[in-house]
């Protein structure tokens, strides 16, 4: 069955190239005729892995192409997920499967609620990729992909295709726990790296701030029915800070490059969940206010 990929950015291209390399049928869905023309000019996708560039002439099409979609990897930013899916919704067959590869929480439910006749799988990824140029992707960090469906623990039959494509993955019946845990890690680290303008390792100079945020995030996870995601959160945050000390967080990179952040699906989602549960999280709220002010000062979107 064909893998349609909507969102031919860093992770979408990384998945597309590896699936195509394994001989699996892949089609990219590009936003508009201009993007399609630029893609045809480039002649395909280039994957750069361990310094080696490989070219893949993966077929591409427009959203309004008149063929059904049975399996779709949605690999755009969280804030684009709903509008991107809307462009191909009519092509999705009943029972089609979508892999939602977005960071944070909130966008997956926005998409799933609009598609009651399809199956939405949530993906949490720790792989790293970036685009040095259009239709080129650098595989920058080995990682793992966890896939799961919060409403159905039955794993799909095609996971062996990911195996064939050497896409590190695992079926995860507790995918929400994974996504909440990653969200908590991101909330404890990313905004502070932006506000202190530092690499992740720079947060070792702000131990009290990190500890206070972890305490509030732990309480929030408990209140949201995610006790497993709260376990040893502070220890893991400290471990991630030291393991990624030399890196800039994804949010820091977004702000430094003047790109929209996924704040609404990370810290914004956490603060909204706290409010829903009437949980007092003054430090998270203050962090959100400081971050929003910081983004506003730079003319960046606040959502």
Q: Are 58 and 83 in contact (CB under 8 A)?
A: no
Q: Are 30 and 60 in contact (CB under 8 A)?
A: yes
Identify the residue whose tokens are 């990682």: 143
Q: Is the CB of 31 or the CB of 169 nearer to ligand KPL?
A: 169
SS3 160: helix
Segment contacting ligand KPL (CB under 6 A): 15-23, 185-193, 220-228, 276-284?
Answer: 185-193
Q: Is the CB of 80 or the CB of 216 nearer to ligand NAD?
A: 80
Q: Is the CB of 127 or the CB of 216 nearer to ligand NAD?
A: 127
Long-range interactions of 283-290: CB distance < 8 A, separation 24+: 283/209, 283/212, 283/213, 283/216, 284/187, 284/213, 284/216, 284/217, 284/220, 287/187, 287/191, 287/192, 287/195, 287/213, 288/191, 288/263, 290/191, 290/195
Residue 254 interacting entry, from ligand KPL, ligand NAD, none, C-beta within 5 to 8 Å by type = none
Query: Residue 119 belongs to what H/E stretch?
Result: strand 119-125
> Edge-to-edge strands of the sheet including 45-49?
52-56, 45-49, 136-141, 128-130
Does residue 190 belong to the site contacting ligand KPL (CB under 6 A)?
Answer: yes
Strands 3-6 and 52-56: what pairing? unpaired
Q: Is the CB of 52 or the CB of 246 nearer to ligand KPL?
A: 246
The Cβ-side half-sphere exposure at 260, using a 13 Å CA radius, reads: 11
Residues 253-282 that bind ligand KPL (CB under 6 A): none
* Helical H segments across 81-225, by residue range: 81-86, 107-114, 159-164, 175-195, 207-223
Does residue 183 belong to the site contacting ligand NAD (CB under 6 A)?
Answer: no
Q: Which of 58, 255, 262, 273 binds ligand NAD (CB under 6 A)?
A: 262
Q: Is the CB of 186 or the CB of 226 nearer to ligand KPL?
A: 186
Residues 213-252 that bind ligand KPL (CB under 6 A): 240, 244, 249-250
The distance of closest approach from Cβ of residue 38 to ligand NAD in the complex, given in angstroms and rounded to an integer, is 11
Cα–Cα distance, 50 to 194 (Å, whole number): 29
Does residue 185 belong to the site contacting ligand KPL (CB under 6 A)?
Answer: yes
Does residue 121 belong to the site contacting ligand KPL (CB under 6 A)?
Answer: no
Q: Are 174 and 229 in contact (CB under 8 A)?
A: no
Does residue 186 belong to the site contacting ligand KPL (CB under 6 A)?
Answer: yes
Catalytic residue (one of 182, 218, 252, 264)? 182
Cα–Cα distance, 192 to 186 (Å, whole number): 10
Count the site residues for ligand KPL by CB under 6 A: 9
Q: Is 182 a catalytic residue?
A: yes
Residue 262 interacting entry, from ligand NAD, ligand KPL, none, C-beta within 5 to 8 Å by type = ligand NAD
Q: Which of 5, 19, 20, 78 binds ligand NAD (CB under 6 A)?
A: 78
Q: Is the CB of 63 or the CB of 268 nearer to ligand KPL?
A: 268
Q: Site residues (CB under 6 A) for ligand KPL?
A: 185-186, 189-190, 200, 240, 244, 249-250
Catalytic residues: 182
């Amino acid at each position: 069955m064909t893998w349609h990929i909507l969102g031919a950015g860093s992770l979408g291209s990384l998945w597309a190239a590896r699936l195509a390399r394994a001989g699996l049928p892949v089609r990219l869905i590009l936003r508009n005729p201009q993007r399609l023309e630029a893609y045809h000019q480039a002649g395909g996708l280039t994957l750069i892995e361990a310094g080696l560039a490989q070219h893949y002439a993966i077929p591409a099409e427009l959203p309004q192409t008149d063929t059904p979609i049975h399996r779709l990897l949605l690999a755009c930013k969280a804030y684009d997920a709903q509008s991107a899916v809307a462009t191909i919704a009519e092509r999705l067959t009943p029972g089609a499967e979508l892999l939602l590869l977005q960071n944070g929480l909130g966008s997956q439910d926005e998409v799933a609620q609009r598609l009651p006749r399809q199956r939405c799988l949530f993906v949490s990824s720790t792989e790293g990729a970036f685009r040095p140029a259009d239709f080129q992707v650098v595989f920058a960090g080995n990682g793992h992909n966890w896939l799961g469906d919060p409403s159905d623990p039955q794993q799909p039959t095609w996971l062996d295709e990911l195996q064939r494509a050497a896409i590190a993955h695992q079926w995860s019946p507790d995918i929400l726990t994974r996504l909440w845990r990653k969200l908590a890690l991101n909330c404890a680290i990313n905004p502070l790296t932006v506000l202190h303008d530092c690499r992740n390792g720079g947060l070792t100079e702000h131990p009290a701030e990190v500890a206070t945020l972890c305490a509030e995030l732990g309480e929030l996870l408990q209140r949201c029915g995610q006790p497993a995601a709260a376990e040893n959160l502070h220890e893991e945050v400290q471990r991630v800070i030291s393991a990624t000390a030399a890196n800039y967080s994804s949010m820091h990179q977004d702000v430094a490059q003047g790109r929209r952040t996924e704040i609404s699906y990370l810290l914004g989602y956490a603060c909204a969940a706290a409010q829903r549960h009437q949980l007092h999280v003054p430090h998270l709220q203050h962090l959100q206010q400081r971050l929003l002010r910081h983004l506003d000062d730079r003319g960046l979107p606040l959502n």
